[in-house]
Amino acid sequence: LRDAEAKLANAQAALNQLRIDMENRLREKDEEIENIRKSSARVIEELQRTLIEVETRYKTEISRIKKKYETDIRELEGALDNANRANAEYLKQIKNLQGRVKELEMLLDEERRGADDLRNQLAVSERRRVALGQELEDARSLLEAAERGRKNAENELSETSVRLSEMTLMVTSLTNDKRRLEGDMA
């Protein structure tokens, strides 16, 4: 009987020690999970701040580019109106001077000069169009970079969420193991 009582006392001491060890492990895992949660929250907040800064910067840049394009369009429309008015004036002059050959030759020379001017204006407009196209490509590149940054932030958030889920599963598993051990001991 004393042997049985001694074995029972040893078993209870071992059970108590096992219970203390398991509680310590659970407490450590809870602290680790809490640290991961805090760290994840800081990372998420930093990513959100960064995303807001990037969005603000690109919205400002897009607004600036849009205003520049609107100004360029207004200038081009003004140049087109001027060209249309000049063209109408040339037509009036041609009608008025049809009977006179010398004046017609002079008008023809003027028309040639006007055409050269228009070609020069067209060349300038074409260069401006190419420059605007390049600026548009640059804006698209900036937008794509912002999109990549956003996707990277989403990936980091997803990885953090997966890690948090894994830690939660570990805690649940340890809790279930503890309950099973307690049930086995009882």
| pLDDT tens by residue, 2-55 | 888 888 899 999 999 999 999 999 999 999 999 989 998 999 999 999 999 999
Distance CA 109, CA 55 (A): 56
Q: Are 90 and 110 spatial neighbours (Cβ–Cβ below 8 Å)?
A: yes
Question: pTM score, two decimals?
Answer: 0.31
- Measured from the Cβ of residue 118, the count of other Cβ atoms closer than 10 Å reads 15
Among the listed residues 134, 51, 118, 40, the one whose alpha carbon sits nearest the alpha carbon of residue 83: 118
Neighbouring residues of 36: CB distance < 8 A, sequence distance ≥ 6: 163, 164, 167
pLDDT tens across 46-69, in order?
Answer: 999 999 999 999 999 999 999 999
